[in-house]
A = this chain, B = another copy of it.
Amino acid sequence: MSSENILDLTQDAVALTASLCNIPSVSLEEGPLADAVEAALRGLSHLSVTRDGNTVVARTDLGRSERVVLAGHLDTVPLTEPANLPVHREGDYLVGRGTTDMKGGVAVQLRLAAELTAPSRDITFVFYDAEEIADEHNGLARLARTHPDLLAADFAVLLEPTDDAIEGGCNGYVTVLVHTRGTAAHSARPWMGHNAIHDVADVLARIERGQLPDADVDGLTYRQSLSAVGISGGIADNVIPDHAVVTVNLRFAPQWTQDQAVSYLVDDVFAGLETEVIDRSAGARPGLDRPAAAAFIEALGLPVRAKLGWTDVARFSALGIPAVNFGPGEAQFAHADDERCRVDQIVAAEASLRRWLA
């Protein structure tokens, strides 16, 4: 363990956010930050701490009737050139890599971990690695495979930036290739062949007809969509093409399983066409009917809306744990070169969660 980075959990959440940001932790390089977080947590006698790669889990074990997870990822997207670190203050904002995505949230987790020595619900704090890169590296996914017991809970909050709102569950998605097949011919004599690109008109018309209405799930409204996200075809400028392919992305509300969503595309929208599913992921129900969730919403008193983009809350949902996103920061600044976070949102998020868990 490195002794270079000491995190002082008694400083306020804004100052702690700055300290966390100033330990760079681009995906796959989270070691120094994970070391610092682990060291800080191991100094707290009311928590039992587990290290798994660069993921750190800290749990209270007070025998409460409910257990909740507060989760956040330690990694960031790459720094800019020149580096957008160390962070600095600009008016109401803390500016620099990681401020909004999501070291403000991690600072709130650490403050609550240090100060809530006797919370009303048992708490599992999860600080995980490699959220910003391919699934295979994701620390939360790894933990769900290797130590699902460490994640067991009645409800989970992922502290991704939600701009002063609560975002429940998330849409699932399916990506399919839709192939059209024709017969090649010289383009001087197209009637000797069959043009596969011309058949793409039918695929696009089916996408238009296949749009899905809004869906209400557990009291939240999920907007659904069907989009062509890629298209290719053609052999040469003098050849009638014998093949074209459209990549189509469906975002479906979490009242459907993955299989239902796939069936909608394959057996309904593109029935009779050649389809190939290349990616799919389940959505997550918000589970706002659970007692811990209802108490959370009542304690925070903030607007609740459906999450449309897929997030790691779906990993909790797959474990049977309803989950929401709630954390400081505005999503529009995530990954941006001028990444920044309003400091009052960091302070307010800590206060809200403390109100719920004290």
Contacts and interface: CB of A to CB of B under 8 A. Distances in A.
A253 to B, nearest CB: 12
A229 B225 contact: no
A84 to B, nearest CB: 22
Nearest to A186: B309
Interface string A203-229: 011011000000000000001010111
A227 B227 CA distance: 25
Contacts of A234: 228-232, 247
A239 B231 contact: no
Interface in A176-215: 186-191, 195, 197-198, 200-201, 204-205, 207-208
Interface of A: 171, 173, 175, 186-191, 195, 197-198, 200-201, 204-205, 207-208, 223, 225, 227-241, 244, 246-247, 249, 251, 278-279, 308-310
A279 to B, nearest CB: 7
Contacts of A187: 173, 225, 227, 229, 249, 251
A236 B228 contact: no
Contacts of A230: 197, 233-234, 237, 241
B229 A308 contact: no
Contact of A228 (B198, B238, B251): B198
